[in-house]
Amino acid sequence: MALYARWHCKDPSCNNYDKHCFVDASNDRKHLSIDAKDASRWNRAIGNGLATMGAPSESQRAILVKKNAPAQKKAKDAVNTPAKPDKHVHIHINRAKHRRNNSSESADSEPTAKSRKRGPVPSSPVASDSDPEVELEGYIDYLIEQIPSQKDLLLAAKEKLLAEALDLPGIRILDNFTWARLDIPLGIGLRLKRKVKIYTKGYE
Ligand SMILES: [Zn+2]
């Protein structure tokens, strides 16, 4: 818009800097901000021969003076106020994003925690190999890693479970009597049963 180009505010000390000000030569070169509404009214007045590009009509000038004079500060606030809700909304969006990130992070960290618990167990051959013997081997190694003091009991239990051709899902359904029949200490049996759920979950 020609008016805008003409009255582009180039005074960095002006509140309205880089927007549009009518610099009122008859009033100490005061900057009177012009918004789109003012500009279109001014343009109309130019069309009607009541104003020029260099000066608005008297009534327009009065409007600009009134709008700017008492409200230099108010005008600034009015400019800032809509920016605040904007910022607010923006922060909300960021928080929502952040929360989403966090939840995905915690979802990510879950398997991480599991794999940490599983420690140096070679998970790849176990995961891909469906051989129950290899699977059981990996599982027992995993438990030994967790409770090294029970290594001998666990290795003994492994032999007995292998002799029974039990796979990991089979261990899950063994009852206390069966552990006793297999001559596997109940504490070991219960641990084998309890942990197998956690262990296999990591591969599902
Ligand atoms: Zn200005």
The predicted-structure confidence for 96-114, as pLDDT tens digits, reads as follows 444 444 444 444 444 444 4
CA of 77 to the centre of ligand 1 (A): 16
Centre of ligand 1 from the C-alpha of residue 6, in Å: 12
Q: How far is the CA of 22 from the centre of ligand 1 (A)?
A: 7
Residues spanned by the domain of 182: 119-201
Boundary (domain end) residue, out of 90, 118, 146? 118
Predicted confidence at residue 181, as pLDDT, reads 92
The predicted structure's pLDDT at residue 63: 92
**pTM score of the predicted model:** 0.37
Asked whether residue 34 falls in the same domain as residue 73, the answer is: yes
User: What span, in angstroms and rounded, lies between the C-alpha atoms of 71 and 85?
Assistant: 22
Report the distance separating Cα 83 and Cα 86, nearest Å: 5
Residues of the chain with pLDDT under 70: 69-129, 202-204
Q: Are residues 92 and 71 in the same domain?
A: no
pLDDT tens-digit map of 178-200: 999 999 999 999 999 999 888 88
Same structural domain for residues 98 and 157?
no
CA of 29 relative to ligand 1 center, distance in Å: 10
Q: Tell me, what's the pLDDT at 51? A: 95
**101 and 42, same structural domain?**
no
Residues 103 and 51 in one domain: no
Domain total for the chain?
3
